[in-house]
Amino acid sequence: MTITNQGTGAAQGSVLAAHGIEKTFFTTTPPAKVLNGINLEVRPGEFTVVMGASGSGKSTLLYCISGMDRPTEGTVKLDGRDLTSFNNKQMSKVRLEEMGFIFQQAYFLDNLNVRDNILLPALKAQPRERAKVEARVDALLKRFGIDHIANHGVTQVSGGQLQRASICRALATEPKVLFADEPTGALNASTSEEVMNALVDVHRDGTTVVMVTHDPACAARADRVVYLRDGLVVDEVALGPWTHEHSEQRSDFLLGWLRDHGF
Ligand code: ADP
Ligand code: MG
């Protein structure tokens, strides 16, 4: 296992490159400056975790680099295209077709079954490819072990199954980057483990993942962990590829590193 404190650099090119990201909310008096000039590059296939104390700006950063919100200053490039120059319509097209999202809550429609909840946004993104989208969704349901509940109502399945369904929904359009904001935040330890195993599979299948979490055990699964304080990246650590047999060693190392940062 390699653990280094070196930045991962951008030698291989990045799928996502955020530079000089600042965010000020003008909805409060005085306005709140929440992000203070963040640079973050994510390489294709990389699993990046963002950590930091509550209120340090993790969610705001995730929203600003995923096209859910706009930074006040700075650029966000997806495959070299500057998203901050896009209008709202272009931005929602990019979100729908090229980004995947997982939140703490699944936000599924109660009147649709699990499979239709997953299909709906993918069909909106790719309306002329119904058969292909359906085949992909069925493969994802199988991949994440929830094909047997495909026709169940979303209120009839467990929290872990629902979150695995959110992963399927997020991957149904084959996004360039999967963003996850505290995806295990509402789950107990064993369910959290189940969802993290699924996210490790997502990463192993080649998807680029950027995840916010406050759980060191979840963060230990990532290739690298970035630490935020007061809207700035203060440090990052490269953990290398996750292996189950090194899980305790990684968690212990990461805990020490986090404590050094006052976590
Ligand atoms: P984290 O995810 O690290 O807990 P957030 O990004 O949610 O932190 O929030 C960072 C800071 O920005 C907090 O102080 C929060 O109150 C503030 N903030 C977040 N969203 C808004 C908003 N829409 N308007 C005003 N302040 C906000
Ligand atoms: Mg948050």
Distances, alpha carbon 220 to alpha carbons 93, 138, 203, in Å: 33, 30, 13
d(CA 223, CA 29): 39
**Domain-embedded: residue 18:** no
The ligand that comes nearest to the alpha carbon of residue 50 is 1
Q: Residue 244's pLDDT is what?
A: 87
Spatial distance between the Cα atoms of 58 and 242, rounded to a whole number of angstroms: 23
Which pLDDT belongs to residue 12?
60
* Tokens matching residue 42: 């994510």
Q: Determine, yes or no, domain membership for 170.
A: yes
Q: Which CATH number characterizes residue 113's domain?
A: 3.40.50.300
Q: For residue 39, count other CB atoms closer than 10 A to its CB.
A: 13
- Residue 222 domain flag: yes
Phi and psi at residue 35, to the nearest 5°: -115, 135
Interval between CA 134 and ligand 2 midpoint (Å): 33
Which ligand is closest to the CA of 181, given by its number? 2
Model pTM score = 0.94
The answer as to whether 136 is a domain residue is yes
Distances (CA, A) of 78 to 4, 8, 99, 163, 196: 27, 18, 10, 26, 25
**Rounded-to-integer distance, Cα 171 and Cα 173, Å:** 6
The SS3 assignment for 118 reads helix
234: CB partners within 8 A, 6+ apart: 227, 228, 261
Residues 6+ apart with CB under 8 A from 30: none
30/258 Cα distance (integer angstroms): 32
Distance 136 CA to ligand 2 centre (A): 31
What string of pLDDT tens digits covers the 263 residues of the chain?
445 444 444 446 899 999 999 999 999 999 999 999 999 999 999 999 999 999 999 999 999 999 999 999 999 999 999 999 999 999 999 999 999 999 999 999 999 999 999 999 999 999 999 999 999 999 999 999 999 999 999 999 999 999 999 999 999 999 999 999 999 999 999 999 999 999 999 999 999 999 999 999 999 999 999 999 999 999 999 998 888 888 899 999 999 999 999 99
Backbone angles phi, psi at 206, to 5 degrees: 110, 0
Quick check: CB of 29 below 6 Å from ligand 1?
Answer: no
Q: What pLDDT is stored for residue 4 in this prediction?
A: 47
Kindly give the number of the ligand 1 atom that is closest to the alpha carbon of 212: 2
Q: Domain range spanning residue 240?
A: 41-70+86-260
DSSP label at residue 127: T
Residue 56 included in any domain: yes
Asked, for residue 15, whether it belongs to a domain, the answer is no
Within a domain: 228? yes
Please give the number of the atom of ligand 1 that sits closest to the Cα of 231: 10
Instruction: Say what the pLDDT of residue 6 is.
Output: 43
Which ligand is closest in space to the CA of residue 55? 1
160 assigned to some structural domain:
yes
Q: How many domains does the chain contain in total?
A: 1
